Structure 1
Amino acid sequence: MIRRLADAVSGAGLVLGALFMAASLTPSLIPRGEGVQGALAGVCFAAGYRVAVLLRWIWVTLDLPLIRGRLRRRLLLVSAAVAALIVASFLWRATDWQNSIRTVMGMEPAPAELPLMIGTIALAVATVLLTLSKLIALFLRRLIGRIERVVPRRAAHLLGLIIGGVLLWSLANGVLFSGFIRTADTSARALDAVVPPDIRPPADPLRTGSPASLVAWEDLGREGRNYIATTPTPQAIAAVAGGPALQPLRAYVGLNAADTAEDRAALAVAELDRIGGFDRSILVVAMPTGTGWLDPAAMETLEYLHRGDVATVALQYSYLPSWISLLVEPEYSAEAGRALFSAVRRHWLTLPPAARPKLYLYGLSLGAYSSQQSLRLSEMIDQPFAGALWVGPPFVSPLWQTVTRERDPASPEWLPRMERAQAVRFTNGQQGLSAQDAWGGIRIVYLQYASDPVVFFSPGSLLHPPGWMNAPRGPDVSPELRWYPIVSFLQLAFDMAVSLNVPMGHGHLYAYGDHIAPWIAVTQPEGWDRQGLDRLRAHFAALQAQATGG
């Protein structure tokens, strides 16, 4: 029994799995608690183990010699001891590595018992994954055995691997993944429809969802109702900005309000026109995140800066969180962004040039992706919009990728500086918006944190280090961060899933105060001196502390 068990275990797999697990304990962009880090460590151990098994399978397929018998069992014992030593030594340092990220983000230190909790969870996760992979390997062996009856052995191995891979992928993608998406969509749809009794339809006819509105309160969706209900009052804005203020206008259309993106966009424009949005000085076409959420840190700072003389129009395109929407339906967000911007711009062009509001675009996360995708070159040349603020743009954003590649090579990838362009700037809220820089007719600003994995995840990190790891590092990136093949890819993938589990001002959680300088650069509000801006920053710092319990 013991011999049979020993023969089933790969010594090289144990060592390589331990090395993968050890590398996963080192810091990446986001601090990880024991649950996430334990799951990541277990996944990495299983991945390393299976890579070693795959290499052995290739070795066997090529008819190369293997070590067998007593020598193999002795080497297995040595390998197990080495693997245990590697895991123990790296677990011992895990707390310090996590604290190296927590320190730069101003977080509490990790608990002293972190290594024990990580090791326990990692063991459970690795056991489940290796058992599952063992069952898959058994299926592939039997499939190859059947194919060997009719074709030569090597060809059978290759053919069996291809056929088995296709069957397993079809099962995972067509059944398991589709089932997960259906369940997530059903749950999100039900949550979106819930109308809390403490959030009532507004009576003000200038608010979407009121009795005078073209959009029913129930058709705004959960995030749309929250967005309309939290519109700041003129009195609140005037108390901070000084002087008279207007009521900001917010038009919003939920996913249930019409059947197609074009119909929802047309309804949004009609609602915007009804409330007088085209009569304001500033008009923003805003694309929300996947669930329909619009960040108050962005919307309210803009409305305060312009003393309420702002109209915003937005529409919902999904019930799902952005990371799921990005995986399964990115075309929906792009379609919605294009439909809304086109509809707004068509109406905007019918207005006399002197009477038009300045037209801007805004998006956060998947909303930034869809907002960028909504543009066409002709609209940048013929009567262009005034500018855009795109926050936390996902790594798949084509326009963001292009301008990042075209940066001054002397500037870091996490904070590009454009060599000759006059239209685009990058900032982390504190750096990158020099007052001496010349601007063109269009002003576009990307707000991104160096620690945001939604921005800086890279499929290429599987095999080579991404450029943002080069010196100088971002201010909230651990100096202990290193690149490891395969493992860094998995670390960043896990980081995306927990990118909001950080203090505001890091990761994918953008702070109120960090929107002020970008909005000033893009929209050029008037009437603000240093004292007024200090008062504004203090107001939003207090609001942020209240929102985060700080």
Structure 2
Amino acid sequence: MPDSVTATAPGPVTARSRMRTRLAAAIRSRWPGHLPPVGITLAVTAGTMVSLAPGLLPRTATAQSVLTALTVVVTLGFAWSARFVVRHTAGRIPRTTVRTRAVVCGTAAAGVLGAVVYAGRWQDTLRTAMDVAPAGPGYWASWAFGASLLSAVIVTVVRGCGRLLRRAGWSRALVMAVVAGLPMALFAVPAAVSWGDRTYAAANATADPGLVRPVTVTRSGSAESMVGWSTLGREGQRFVTAGPPGAVRVYVGLRSAPDPAARAALAVRELDRAGGFDRAHLVIAVPTGSGWVDARALRGFGGRFGGDVAVVALQYSYAPSWATFVFGRDSASTSARVLLAAVEQHIATMADPPRLHLYGQSLGAIGGSAVFAGAAEQNRRVCSALWAGMPGGGGPEPGARTAVLANASDPVVHWSLDLLWRPPDLTAARPDAPTPPWLPVASFVQTTADLLGALGAPPGHGHRYDTDQGTALPGCDSA
């Protein structure tokens, strides 16, 4: 009896062991086989790490998710393109072992985790410098979920479109695309652009309900003004309603006169009527593309010169600054040039003319600085100039009679195509926040993404400048 028990006891134990061994072998043999190819893993990792590279400004979890998804999709596109080229030139792609895929996948996961940790620390560093609440664990959980979901949706849509094209045949698909695209190119796109221009112009021409038409004679748009209140546009109406009651604010909207020369002549007559030439200082403010003049700069002029200053601006576009920068940046310099010439012609007849100053922010800085052939001509024609947030960080260097304001965290100052292969020139920038190290391609991607939130930064950071736009304006005695 004891012998029989001893002989039969190991049976069930051996069966369970064999079952566990087979199950483990099945898991080891099948699970790694479902790992993505090495090229896909590397592409996803590269796209994720590029999106997590150090940026210039704090970013919301949603914005970071969108950036990660887009960079991942782009790198996947490069990977699939390279795979297609290799397959059709070499004939076949060498297969990788399961062990290789597992090692690459594990290494990639570790690399992404390290990038997330570094990105979290960098975000908190920026937020501390700009007095913004830190990003907690929920931030990165939302980022991971949003980036994964959006990437999956985009990849699924793209692959679905690819299957449809293959079923229809590439030649037939090309014909269908041309047939569908011609009406879009000839009718739909121009109509949409025209509608957008009309919509934007109508919105700009509509008064802000919170604005009240000025009653003082020193403002354009008042009852005594030669510039109609309705022709100022929304940005012009905001301009003339800003500042203390006695301040001279002259603004000529895009619809106030038919062309730049006529608008400049109207601005001179309006300055004469409003008493602008009787002030000791006259500031010519070159607006941004939409016609906007920063109210903080106006307050700064008041602090710099007291009440003895007049400010005049000439609108040259309704479009956003980025659209004007791409399609019509010459209009900014043309507007500044004709206005300065008209003002100079008028004050040449005066016995005690005001001192001229020139100011521009963003696209206005490009337009204003293009008026002069060099520093000598600028010093001869105006007392001083101030350029704030000039795109690309270019323009004149700061000097005795030229002030340049450029935040180190301003993506507008950093951005240019040269950023792809060389670091930006931040000689004139002031260190308002930690500046990330320059990385080829990655810095360009990050800066481009930060452009969307450049005006959402706290005052004094990003593309938001404070009253020092006026208080930092030099005087004629600085020469």
**TM class by shorter-chain length?**
0.7 to 0.9
Query: Cα 1:170–1:503, aligned 2, differ >3 Å: closer, same or farther?
Result: farther
Query: What is aligned with 1:259?
Result: 258
Query: What is aligned with 2:391?
Result: 394
Query: Cα 1:275–1:476, aligned 2, differ >3 Å: closer, same or farther?
Result: closer
Structure 1 distance, partners of 2:127, 2:284, is: 36
Task: Tell me if the contact between 1:104 and 1:475 (Cα under 8 Å) persists in the aligned partners.
Answer: no
Task: Tell me if the contact between 1:95 and 1:114 (Cα under 8 Å) persists in the aligned partners.
Answer: no
Structure 1 distance, partners of 2:157, 2:382, is: 54
Query: What is aligned with 2:459?
Result: 504
Give the superposition deviation at 1:131: 4.7
Query: Cα 1:18–1:265, aligned 2, differ >3 Å: closer, same or farther?
Result: same
Identify which of 432, 447, 464 aligns with 1:476. 432
Which moves more between the two structures, 364-373 or 319-328? Answer: 319-328
Task: Tell me if the contact between 2:207 and 2:234 (Cα under 8 Å) persists in the aligned partners.
Answer: yes
Structure 1 distance, partners of 2:182, 2:36, is: 29
Note the 1:113-512 alignment, pairs <5 A: 113-131=138-156, 134=159, 182=194, 184-233=196-245, 247-349=246-348, 351-352=349-350, 354-376=351-373, 380=377, 383-395=380-392, 400=395, 403=396, 424-425=398-399, 439=400, 443-468=401-426, 475-478=431-434, 481-512=436-467
Identify which of 27, 33, 50 aligns with 1:23. 50
Query: Cα 1:30–1:177, aligned 2, differ >3 Å: closer, same or farther?
Result: farther
Q: Match of 2:438, SS?
A: coil
Structure 1 distance, partners of 2:270, 2:105, is: 68
Structure 2 distance, partners of 1:190, 1:109, is: 40
Query: What is aligned with 1:237?
Result: none
AA aligned to 1:360 is H
Query: Cα 1:454–1:382, aligned 2, differ >3 Å: closer, same or farther?
Result: closer
Query: Cα 1:342–1:302, aligned 2, differ >3 Å: closer, same or farther?
Result: same
AA aligned to 1:279 is D
Give CA-to-partner distance per residue, 1:456-489, whole Å, 9 cap, x none.
Answer: 1131222344354x9x99633436x233332221
Structure 2 distance, partners of 1:308, 1:140, is: 69
Identity of aligned residues (%): 32
Which moves more between the two structures, 330-339 or 112-121? Answer: 330-339
Q: Match of 1:312, SS?
A: strand
Query: Cα 1:375–1:223, aligned 2, differ >3 Å: closer, same or farther?
Result: same
Q: Match of 1:395, SS?
A: helix
Query: Cα 1:175–1:51, aligned 2, differ >3 Å: closer, same or farther?
Result: farther
AA aligned to 2:242 is T
Structure 2 distance, partners of 1:115, 1:290, is: 36
Which moves more between the two structures, 125-134 or 386-395? Answer: 125-134
Give the superposition deviation at 1:102: 0.9
Query: Cα 1:65–1:391, aligned 2, differ >3 Å: closer, same or farther?
Result: same
Give the superposition deviation at 1:90: 2.9
Which moves more between the two structures, 167-176 or 133-142? Answer: 167-176
Structure 2 distance, partners of 1:356, 1:370, is: 24
Q: Match of 1:91, SS?
A: helix
Runs (5+) with no aligned partner, structure 1: 148-159, 234-246, 405-423, 426-438, 526-550
Give the superposition deviation at 1:392: 0.7
Q: Match of 1:368, SS?
A: helix
Structure 2 distance, partners of 1:57, 1:467, is: 40
Query: Cα 1:377–1:97, aligned 2, differ >3 Å: closer, same or farther?
Result: closer
AA aligned to 1:331 is D
Query: Cα 1:342–1:127, aligned 2, differ >3 Å: closer, same or farther?
Result: farther
Task: Tell me if the contact between 1:27 and 1:100 (Cα under 8 Å) persists in the aligned partners.
Answer: no
Give CA-to-partner distance per residue, 1:264-306, whole Å, 9 cap, x none.
Answer: 2222122112212222211111111222221122122212322
How large is the Cα RMSD of the aligned pairs? 3.9
Q: Match of 1:389, SS?
A: strand
Task: Tell me if the contact between 2:388 and 2:469 (Cα under 8 Å) persists in the aligned partners.
Answer: no
Task: Tell me if the contact between 1:255 and 1:318 (Cα under 8 Å) persists in the aligned partners.
Answer: yes
Q: Match of 2:249, SS?
A: strand
Q: Match of 1:278, SS?
A: helix
Query: What is aligned with 1:518?
Result: 472
Query: What is aligned with 1:104?
Result: 129
- Give TM-score scaled by structure 1 length: 0.70
Structure 1 distance, partners of 2:309, 2:256, is: 24
Which moves more between the two structures, 9-18 or 214-223? Answer: 9-18
Identify which of 66, 71, 78 aligns with 1:44. 71
Structure 1 distance, partners of 2:268, 2:178, is: 46
Query: Cα 1:489–1:316, aligned 2, differ >3 Å: closer, same or farther?
Result: same
Give the superposition deviation at 1:40: 1.0
Q: Match of 1:13, SS?
A: helix
Q: Match of 1:363, SS?
A: strand
Which structure has the larger Rg over C-alpha atoms?
2
Structure 1 distance, partners of 2:375, 2:433, is: 39
Q: Match of 1:361, SS?
A: strand
Give the superposition deviation at 1:79: 4.9
Task: Tell me if the contact between 1:266 and 1:343 (Cα under 8 Å) persists in the aligned partners.
Answer: yes
Task: Tell me if the contact between 1:14 and 1:49 (Cα under 8 Å) persists in the aligned partners.
Answer: no
Structure 2 distance, partners of 1:381, 1:390, is: 13
Query: Cα 1:72–1:53, aligned 2, differ >3 Å: closer, same or farther?
Result: farther
Structure 2 distance, partners of 1:225, 1:231, is: 12
